[in-house]
Amino acid sequence: MDEPGKLSVEPVSPALGAEIFGVDLEAAAGKPEQIAAIRRALLKHKVLFFRDQDISAGAQVAFARSFGELEVHPVLRHHPEHGELVLLDRGSRRAANENIYHADTTWREKPSMGSILRCVECPPVGGDTIWANMALAYERLPERVKTICEELYATHDIGHSFGGDLSVEKRRALSKEFPPQEHPVVAVHPETGESILYVNQGFTTHFTNYTQKRERNLGADFALEANKLMSYLMSQATHPEFQVRLRWKPNTIAFWDNRATQHYAVQDYYPAVRRMVRATVVGGKVQGLPDRQGRGEGIFMDVAAAAGGGS
């Protein structure tokens, strides 16, 4: 007899990602052993792929809810019967703009734990999604860059990506409802304990405490150094060594750990149509590294030199 909840797991990249076999997601919500096995696989591989899952919208909601409370997105279109599902209908009206490395909803005080994205329709070629392992990205940073980052915080703002198409008044209202949030640059995963590089192109705007630990010279120096460091850190998600890439087919589902990954939706298919449905699991407050008061004195240095060791 098969072990309850046992899955067939096939890794698809050394960095992250695994294809899951032997599960029907239409009925998985009623099988706690299987849900527990999927969670274990998610923590290990960070993004999971399920093929040939012709499931209903209600089943997608039920499966996602097995991992926690679901969020309702304040900007994106919703399913008419299930407000927890976001409809991503791209290509029919204009080219999509998700082709930027990001983690979802880091503009929230409690960013999402993970997302379950289902492909309804996609072009025969194009529209892939790339995920990056941000624990591995942090691990591979030069030690001197890690030292710079370990006490830094950064601001994440919903308007950075979602405000661009709004009027000034609507941007102000959005910012008032969802004020910018400050998160540690190095986050600690609440379940695995891994250190995660936690800045992204989609929502991170600037460091909030960059000038605290450095002798003052010219104010302009701080801005230039901070911008160089932010660009360097954001570039880590773009390295193929930290990535996995999925070629979508209808009824493919991807489930990723939003706390440990970033993703990029490749925009190479317009004007072809790509229709996706996403459920997002609510997460918790982002935790940083343990307090290291006193270790940061004098840690800042020329960022170009600090980054020169590569990754």
Residues acting as catalytic residues = 102, 104, 263, 278
**Farthest CA pair distance, the chain:** 71
Residue 270 structure tokens: 């317009």
With tokens 């009824």, the residue in question is 251
DSSP class of residue 134? Answer: H
Amino acid at 205: T
Task: Measure Cα distances from 15 to 106, 111, 240, 245 in Å.
Answer: 23, 23, 9, 11
State the Rg of the chain over Cα.
20
269, 99 contact by CB (below 8 A):
no
How many H-runs (helices) and E-runs (strands) does the chain carry? Answer: 8, 15
Residues facing residue 262 across a β-bridge: 132
Alpha-carbon distance of 29 to 58, in angstroms, equals 11
With tokens 């343990």, the residue in question is 290
